[in-house]
Amino acid sequence: MKSKRVVSETTKPRVLVVAGSDSGGGAGIQADIKAITMLGGFATTAITALTAQNTLGVQDVLAVDPAFVAAQMRSVLTDIGADAIKTGMLGSARVVETVARMCEGLASGVPLIVDPVMVAKGGATLLDQGAIDMMVLRLFPFASLVTPNVPEAEKLTGLRIRTADDLGRAADALLALGPSAVLMKGGHLEGDTVVDLLRTADGAEHRFEGPRIMTRSTHGTGCTLASGIAAGVAEGLTLQGAVARARKYVVAAIEHAPGLGNGHGPLEFAHPLLAAAAAAAPERARG
C-alpha cells in the first residue's frame, strides 16, 4: 500500500499589490509578481487598470471600476491576508479613496508601501492632479514608506531637485505630509553615481550609492524596487535591510536585462534562477 505524501505548509511573506497591469510585462502588476516571487514572497493582486503598453510607451488604458478594485482587495484580505501592501498605478481619485478605505477597514496595521506612480517611462500621464491630491490626503498619512523618483517628488513638493543634497530637502517635505519614511530615488539626477536616500520620520537617514549603469533597459525599475522592498518588509526585514536587498536585486536585473523591444526595455527578473542554473551546470557536467 502506498504511503501518503505529506506536504508541509510553510508561511510565506504575503504581499498584496494594488496597481495597473502592463501588457509588455516589464512594469506594473507583472513586474510586481515577478520581483516578489524571486525574493521569496507570495504576491496577490488587485488590478486598478489595464494598459496596452510596450517598451515604447502606453498606447491605451482601460480603468477598472473602483467597486471591483475593492472586491479584489476584499477577496484577498479576508482569506489569504497580507503582511505588506504595495500600491502602484491607481489611476483616479475614486480608486485612491477606495484603496484607502479598504486598507483602513481590512488591513489596519499592515505596512503600506506607496509608489506614487504618476507618469509612465514613455511620458504618458497615469495620475491626474485630483488623484494626486487624494493620494497625499488619504494614503500618505498611514504609509510606512513612500518611494518617489525625482519628477514625482518635484510634483508632490513643488521643489526643484537637481543634486543629491536636494534629495534630503525633498524627503523632509514629503515626511511633513505624514508617511513614516521616504525613499528618494535619485536615478533621474545627472552623474556617474546613482544616490537613493532613505529618511524616516524619527530622523534616521541611510544613503545608498552605486555606479550608474548605461543602458536603455530601465522599464519598470520603480515598480520592481518598491515591490522588492514590500517583499522584504513582509518578511520582517528592517526597512534599511529591505531597501538594500531590493536595490541589489534591481541592479542585477538591469545588468542581465534581455534587451527586448525597441524602447526602454524590461529587466531580467529571473536572474537569481539563471545564476543558480549556471552554477549547477558544472556539477551536472561532472555527474
| Digit-coded pLDDT (tens) for 12-40 | 999 999 999 999 999 999 999 999 999 99
2, 222 contact by CB (below 8 A):
no
Residue 286 has a pLDDT of: 62
Can 185 be counted among the known catalytic residues?
Answer: yes
- How crowded is the C-beta side of 220, counted as CA atoms within 13 Å? 36
Q: Rounded distance, CA 189 to CA 181, Å?
A: 21
Query: Is residue 5 assigned to a domain?
Result: no
For position 30, what pLDDT does the model report? 98
SS (H, E, C) the chain: CCCCCCCCCCCCCEEEEEECCCCCCCCHHHHHHHHHHHCCCEEEEEECEEEEEECCEEEEEEECCHHHHHHHHHHHHCCCCCCEEEECCCCCHHHHHHHHHHHHHHCCCCCEEECCCCECCCCCECCCHHHHHHHHHHCHHHCCEECCEHHHHHHHHCCCCCCHHHHHHHHHHHHCCCCCEEEEECCCCCCCEEEEEEEECCCCEEEEEEECCCCCCCCCHHHHHHHHHHHHHHHCCCHHHHHHHHHHHHHHHHHCCCCCCCCCCCCCCCHHHHHHHHHHHHHHHHC
Residue-level pLDDT at 280:
82
For residue 272, being part of any structural domain is answered with yes
Q: Is 248 a catalytic residue?
A: no
Does residue 7 fall inside a structural domain? no
CATH number of the domain bearing residue 206: 3.40.1190.20
**Of 26, 28, 186, 220, catalytic:** 220
| List 28, 41, 185, 200, catalytic entry | 185
Tracing cell 510553510 back to the chain, one arrives at: 10
Between CA 272 and CA 285 the distance in angstroms is 21
Range of the domain at 76: 14-286
Q: In whole angstroms, how far apart are CA 57 and each of 47, 52, 149, 258, 265?
A: 19, 9, 18, 18, 11
Give the distance, in angstroms, between the CA of residue 63 and the centroid of all CA atoms in the same chain. Answer: 20
Q: Is 218 a catalytic residue?
A: yes
**Mean pLDDT of successive 10-residue segments in the chain (287 residues)?**
54 96 97 98 98 94 97 98 97 96 97 90 76 96 96 94 94 97 95 96 96 94 97 98 98 96 96 85 63
Catalytic residue among 222, 228, 232, 265: 222
Among this protein's residues, is 265 annotated catalytic? no
From the list 265, 175, 258, the residue with the least C-alpha distance to 218 is 265
- Is residue 9 assigned to a domain? no
How many whole angstroms from its chain centre is CA 152?
14
Annotated active-site residue 220? The verdict is yes
Options 223, 228, 232, 265, the catalytic residue = 223
For residue 60, being part of any structural domain is answered with yes
Specify the number of domains making up the chain: 1
- Centre a 10 Å sphere on the Cβ of residue 104 and count the other Cβ atoms it contains: 11
In a domain, 4, yes or no: no
Model pLDDT for residues 183-225, shown as the tens digit of each residue: 999 999 999 999 999 999 999 999 999 999 999 999 999 999 9
222 counts as catalytic: yes
Q: What is the pTM of this model?
A: 0.93
The answer as to whether 3 is a domain residue is no
Q: Confirm whether 1 is domain-assigned.
A: no
Of the residues 218, 228, 232, 265, only one is catalytic, namely 218
Set 221, 224, 228, 265: catalytic member? 221
Q: How many residues does the chain have?
A: 287
